[in-house]
Amino acid sequence: MGNYINFNKSNCRNCYKCIRNCPVKSIKFSGNRANIIDSECVLCGECYVVCPQNAKNIVDATEYVSVLLNEGAPVIASIAPSFIAYFEKCGIESMRGALKELGFSDVRETAEGATLVKREYEKQIKDGKMDIIISSCCHSVNLLIEKYYPEAIEYLSPVVSPMIAHAKLIKSENPSAKVVFIGPCISKKEEAGGTEVDAVLTFDELAMMLDKKGITVQRGTDVTENSRARLFPVVGGIIDTMFMPKDSGYTFISVDGAEDCKAALCDVVAGNIHKCFIEMSMCKGSCINGPVILKHQNSALRRYKAVKNYAGEKDFDINPLDDIAKNHPYRGVNNRVPTEKEITEALSKMGKTKPEDELNCGSCGYNTCREKAVAVCLGKADYTMCLPHIMDQTERFSNSILDNTPNGILVINEEYEVQRVNYAALKMLHINYESDVLGEPVVNIMDPTPFFEVLENGGRVRGVTDYYAEFDKYLELSIVHDKSSHILIAIFRDVTVEHKERIQKEEMGRQTIDIADKVVEKQMRIVQEIASLLGETAAETKIALTKLKDSITNENAKK
């Protein structure tokens, strides 16, 4: 299966929202980026819808369709009946006019193909040979069954989807025509491969082509009586189009949404359901909530009302086709289940050594820690995706630094309230317990003036030494304002010993000067007494002693 969803790795921000919403967890995280596993994907488009960073985009077919439109062969659009939900208040004639202006030779409603398909469903119900019949219109449902519930393949109706049936109908009438399907699905792009459908556009792609050419779809809904199959895109719409006797023996059930589909398939496989026709749609709310329409974000109620009001009471007048049968293949996926030892080891590496450690918070995208451990064993996830584990590791690392650094650290918020204080700061600031000051104003601990200067005036405090009389300490203070986290970090270094040693050295210097002065004075007296004997020697002694004094004085001044 080709890749029908482009992935912009530069936009991915590790929010894990895509894996959280993926119904089959077909997304692998590698290199801190999400990657779709094509072989496991059912193309529901949920990752495309929920991605907050627009990191996923549907493969664009507009250029290819533009080439088809210019090749000369007639190109006929088969437009899904949900178009009325996307192009609000624009009927088929409005769409036909706009698309012909774009270059299409004609526009037909895929609901014509839906009429052919629902007739086959009616025949199968009347025949009664199948215990359970699951509608085959939704290709994502088909992929889900073919990949993950192979035991239910026998219950998939062996009929092509309305898109394929319609393309067959169009080409039976005009063999030279090219058929372009236009709808709300991503999965149709994959389904079209190797069939009578030559290309698939989403409604968004069509809107882009129209906008590029400056073409506006004119408002106007042309309701016709023979258009009952226009109900297909709403929940229960397939069943509502079918004309069945009350004594058919079947129970008719509508199931929509990936989780409900999976639950229903589990019941089917387990043998808990019998004699049912199940209309199954991967999208919650069916096709009017297809991924392209959901991204469009108009009202779900308006969409439902638009389709219901646009549908007629009778079938399209369509001639039957002989060949619309389909064989649903088994598409195996990697079903390897890691051993209990592997799972336990993976849990342990995520810090989950006891049952109570398994928070099952879902922040990694998986419902339980055990599911995440299985994904790790299968190479689809890594340990760093566990947010509580990473936070715990980070906190332990941070605490280790704070608890072992000799520097005092005090953290306050921009309201000047204490948020954190480490052990060294407790000792320096004469605080008994951290709980005594947490949440308290910093003014209760020390002079807040330096913090005011940093926060209010944009000043900086770095390596300022001062005597704090209340602590009887000389502290070197630096304050950093982290604007992103709205906190101020004060770093204290106790320089009391260093300061006292410097004072002691200065005192020793002064004492040395005093001694030198006394020596000079004494020598001068002696000089005067023996001046006649020493002559110039006295002058030389005075000069030498004076130099010694000046030297000591200068050295002390440098300190």
The pTM of the full predicted model, rounded to 2 decimals, is 0.77
Which residue blocks in 10-138 are alpha helix, DSSP H?
17-21, 46-50, 62-69, 83-86, 92-102, 111-127
Delimit the domains of the chain by residue range: 60-310, 336-402, 405-494, 502-558
- Domain 405-494: give its CATH superfamily: PAS domain (3.30.450.20)
**Which pLDDT belongs to residue 509?**
77
Kindly state the percentage of the chain with pLDDT values over 90: 64
Q: Give yes or no on whether 60-310 and 405-494 have one common fold.
A: no
> Distance of alpha carbon 460 from its chain centroid, rounded?
38
| Among the listed residues 456, 470, 473, 477, the one whose alpha carbon sits nearest the alpha carbon of residue 409 | 477
| Among the listed residues 328, 75, 97, the one whose alpha carbon sits nearest the alpha carbon of residue 181 | 75
Q: Which amino acid is at 379?
A: G
Q: Which of 66-80, 220-234, 476-490, 528-542 has the lowest mean pLDDT?
A: 528-542
Mean pLDDT score of the chain:
90
Residue 488: pLDDT band by 50, 70, 90 thresholds?
A: very high
**Using CA atoms, how far apart are residues 41 and 147, in angstroms rounded to an integer?**
9
**Using CA atoms, how far apart are residues 366 and 370, in angstroms rounded to an integer?**
9
| Among the listed residues 99, 100, 109, 106, the one whose alpha carbon sits nearest the alpha carbon of residue 78 | 109
Question: How large is the average pLDDT for residues 207-221?
Answer: 93
Give the model confidence (pLDDT) of 39-58 as tens digits. 999 999 999 999 988 888 89
- Burial class from Cβ neighbours inside 10 Å (0-12, 13-18, 19+) for residue 104 reads buried
Give the model confidence (pLDDT) of 330-346 as tens digits. 998 888 889 999 999 99
**Using CA atoms, how far apart are residues 425 and 490, in angstroms rounded to an integer?**
10
Question: How large is the average pLDDT for residues 169-197?
Answer: 96
**Third-level CATH fold of 60-310:** Fe-only Hydrogenase (Larger Subunit); Chain L, domain 3 (3.40.950)
Contact in structure between 14 and 35 (CB atoms under 8 Å): no
Give the model confidence (pLDDT) of 272-298 as tens digits. 999 999 999 999 999 999 999 876 666
Q: Which amino acid is at 398?
A: S
Q: Which of 416-425, 435-444, 492-501 has the lowest mean pLDDT?
A: 492-501
**Which pLDDT belongs to residue 557?**
62
Residue 555: pLDDT band by 50, 70, 90 thresholds?
A: low
**Which pLDDT belongs to residue 551?**
67
Backbone angles phi, psi at 77, to 5 degrees: -90, 135
Give the model confidence (pLDDT) of 348-405 as tens digits. 988 899 999 899 998 888 999 999 999 999 989 988 888 888 888 888 888 888 888 9
Kindly state the percentage of the chain with pLDDT values over 70: 94
